[in-house]
Structure 1
Amino acid sequence: MPSQEEAKEHTSVLEAAADAARRTPGVAYLRPGFGDLVRGAAVRYRSRDDQRPAAHRIAGVRAQRTDPPRGWSLRIHLAVARGHRALDVTREVRTAVTEAVRELAAASGAPEPRVSVTITVTDIA
């Protein structure tokens, strides 16, 4: 179970990655997967007495620690806007997300993390 500090760091990485992806030209939206939809329903029914730190979730973005505490593996699911080449958009998203996570680490004084980003295009919107 993650500590409060680890949960905050995880949330910060998710938010930075999602913001960077959404700001990238050609991204229509981040797309929640089936797991996000089912998981969202399960989280709503969690006991109010449960004192564990809540795992923050952002639709279309998953982050997992690799080689703790030095690395992050991120998975982004998104829809590409019509008129944009999916290949170009995914390259730009990968670069933007990597830079955002590294900037977040630098701002907190942590060493530069190894960042792996996998992009899945789920739709053309």
Structure 2
Amino acid sequence: MAFKLVERNSVAVQVKGEITGDKGAGEPFNFTLHCKRMGVEALQEQLKDESRSVRDFLVGIAHGWAGVNDADGAALPFAPDALGALLDIPGIAGLAFSAYLEQQGARAKN
């Protein structure tokens, strides 16, 4: 199959993990974070800035999500404050950042 050289400005990043619940048991989760796709040079520039945290990086590129619900199980609309609350959960920003780096570029297919 031929490669189509087209500009892809957005990437849907699948973030999966597990968080310890109130009873000490692991609770699996997954959600999709819609992010701005960056080229190699732009990404390198962003990563060179040591004054920016992973959280700051994600706040700068995320523009939507799917699969994030409120305490009642209803879909939570994407908003800067809600994104901040999500990224303040220990480990979430790191998982999302790793997933972004892995999924925004090309990769081998089996």
Q: TM-score range by the shorter chain?
A: 0.3 to 0.5
Q: Pick the structure with more helix per residue.
A: 1
RCO higher in structure (CA 8 A, sep ≥6): 1
